[in-house]
Structure 1
Amino acid sequence: MKILITGAGGFVGQLLAEYLLNDNHTVVLADIFEPPIPAAASNKQNAIPIKADLYESPSAVLSKDLDAMYVFHGIMSAGSEENLELGYRVNLQSTINFLDAIRATLPGVRFIYASSTAIFGQPLPEVPSEETVPTPQGSYGTQKAMIEYIVNDYNRRGYINAFTLRFPTISVRPGKPTQAASSWMSGIIREPLQGKESVLPCDGDFKAWLCSPKTLIRNLKHALTLDGNSLPPHIRQVLLPGITSTVKDMLDALRAVGGEDAVKLVKREKPSPEIKAMLDSWPTTFDISKALSLGFVADQNFKGAVEDFAESLKKQ
């Protein structure tokens, strides 16, 4: 298959591109800068990096021979809250421009959109599901919810063959901290396992909805195989499986893998009122029966994600 990834310079885009190239797909990597070809990928000759601004030139990344696309580009939660104009330009307006370019160039292409559980805000039922009405309490979640409705409409009209995947927080992410309000959920593992201090802005009983990178990639690849009729034409959202972990669970996993010295590198700090309100508004568990019925999978526990990251450090 020939597959496009937007936002391909980011962590998820790079990791997915690596796996798709290893599976011998042709992968178009698009971003606002020319994205690198993943160093660990085989079949690098099948990678096509493209520098493009999807707001200004959405057609620059499209060709009629594309079989599918993953839409990952965006300004993350804290970044969208800090810069209203930039968040709406990148997360909303550029995606609308991109959808219209698709409609004109290759209608019916498989369109896998990365949404987020940030579309939910309080008040919420005890266990939200796809039937729960989004009430976002941040600009990022608002922008994602707006695109979800547009994706549903374009799918209903036959312009795209869409699957909207609502991501849990992905942990443990390698690399540098991001602009996500949830960035610390990786940082309190990633930095201490490399001998560095990390900031923890929440108490031990704070709960989060998490998914490991390995499981996320498995589920993203599964989305390529789903029957287009497996969801109603006007309801294309799926809550990807996650697990609920408390901060105590995360630190216990860090202790089990990295020892007490690693835990001592985690420093507690109060978050800003804006970030605290955003974190407290996010749900901590979901009804994932729909995703499981479609063949998506869940992690067993958070410790596995920590062990995966520690193993990746050894390989480096």
Structure 2
Amino acid sequence: MSTPTPTQKTKTILITGAAGLLGPLLTQHLLSLPPSYNLLLTDISPISLPFTYNPSRITVLQGDLSSPTFLSSILSHPLNAVYILHGIMSSTAEANYPLSLKINVYSILSLTEQLRLLYPGIRTIFTSSIAIYGHLADPTAKITENVYPRPETTYGAHKLMIETHLTELHRKGFLDVIIARLPTISVRPGKPTGAASSFLSGIIREPMQEKECIVPIEDRGFKSYLSSPGKVIENLGRVLEWNRLEGNVTVQFPGISVSIEEMIDALRVYGGEDKVRFIKEERDERLEKILRSWPRDFDVRRGEEMGLGRDEGVEGIVGIYIEGLRKDRKF
């Protein structure tokens, strides 16, 4: 396959996993930014874009990235940058190791190998996860990018495998890599996902729709590291235009450390006491083991010094979601 030549005036950006939570939000955000971007969106699922846009700026290709034929069809397009967002979620990965290996590892290895050959030096942004760390000797310690990861889930292990691979491609000069270690994203709109952390969105989302949310851990003091979808998207947009990183290409995206009790309090503020009754605490040992393997707080001074932003408290995160419901006339 010959290497396509991107135009100099308009950059074309590939987004994989474009049908997921972040894909449509990132698409909308990038279309709003100067300079003008053209976007190539791909996912195995249908891609729905709930906003108006100029069709000439978006190309949608639905298919399986693990298929060499489909991968070749994607990479026949001129490209200037790539966001690798696709993958299966944490509890699904834990339950189906072969599927996680296929999607979360092999498909990304195939994609990045072709990028190395066809687009040497292309900016490649990979969304990793705090799930790479595993249990810490001191669970209250604030983590930096320099803490040695010891993942205790399939999802975290496979994310770390790709981090290591991409770091080597960057070191060799084959790709221009940024690894974004994302906090748990809350409040996610839509339906529950296959993530162990799904309840951290459901604890707000479901009661606001007068639906039950099952919290799989009977410990209201349990803390998680959260960021709103909008703040993650803003930060993903910022890193696109960063200069090439030297040394450590991994950046921990900022979030806030929030307890289950604090999330319930925020629900009470915005929804009233009657919404809290839809929360049901029912321990799930399998999910609790996954959740307790993730760190609870991070030192993100490096990312903030590089221009990344963070949410202003749990009520701010919940307030953003409630405002979105009001705009959509769902509340």
What is the TM-score of this pair, normalised by structure 2? 0.91
Q: CA deviation at 1:193?
A: 1.1
Cα deviations by residue, 1:204-251 (Å, 9 ceiling, x for unpaired) = 1010000011111110100112110x331xx31111001000001101
**Aligned counterpart for 1:16 among listed residues 22, 26, 30:** 26
Q: CA RMSD in A?
A: 1.3
Aligned to 2:145: 130
Aligned counterpart, 1:94: 107
Deviations along 1:83-120, one digit per CA (max 9) or x if unpaired, are: 01000110011100111111121111110000000001
| Counterparts of 2:137 and 2:65, CA distance in 1 | 34
Moved over 4 A (4+): none
Taking the aligned partners of 1:76 and 1:292, their CA distance within structure 2 comes to 27
In the alignment, the residues of structure 2 paired with residue 45 and residue 195 of structure 1 have an alpha-carbon distance, to the nearest angstrom, of: 41
* Residues 1:226 and 2:242 aligned together: yes
Residue 305 (1) aligns with residue 317 (2)? yes
Partner SS, residue 292 of structure 2 = helix
**Is there any run of 5+ residues in structure 2 with no aligned partner, and where?**
1-10
Q: CA deviation at 1:123?
A: 2.7
Distance 2:310 2:240 in 1: 18
Take 2:253 and 2:176, find their aligned partners in 1: how far apart are those partners?
Answer: 18
**Aligned twin of 1:195:** 210
Q: Which residue of 2 aligns with 1:261?
A: 274
Q: How many residue pairs get matched?
A: 311
Shift of 1:42: 2.8
1:266 is aligned with what amino acid?
Answer: I
Q: Is the 8 A contact 1:22 1:43 kept in 2?
A: no
Structure 1 gaps of 5+ residues are none
Tell me the percent identity. Answer: 39
Is 1:27 the counterpart of 2:39? The answer is yes
Which position in structure 1 is the counterpart of 2:91?
Answer: 78
Q: What SS does the aligned partner of 1:191 have?
A: helix
> Residue 42 of structure 1 corresponds to which residue in structure 2?
53
Please say if residues 210 and 244 of structure 1, whose CA atoms lie closer than 8 Å, have aligned partners that are also in contact.
yes
User: Is 1:152–1:162's contact at 8 Å kept on the other side of the alignment?
Assistant: yes
Contact 2:136 2:295 in 1 (8 A): no
Contact 1:34 1:50 in 2 (8 A): no
Write out aligned runs for 1:202-217 (5 A). 202=217, 203-217=219-233
Is 1:165–1:239's contact at 8 Å kept on the other side of the alignment? Answer: yes
Deviation at 1:34, TM superposition (A): 3.7
Question: How does 1:108-257 map onto structure 2 within 5 Å?
Answer: 108-125=121-138, 126-202=141-217, 203-228=219-244, 230-232=245-247, 235-257=248-270
1:289 to 251, 276, 301: 301
CA contact (8 A) 2:127 2:179 kept: yes
Q: Deviations over 1:252-289 (max 9, x none)?
A: 11111111111111111111x22111111110001111
2: CA distance, partners of 1:123 / 1:285: 11
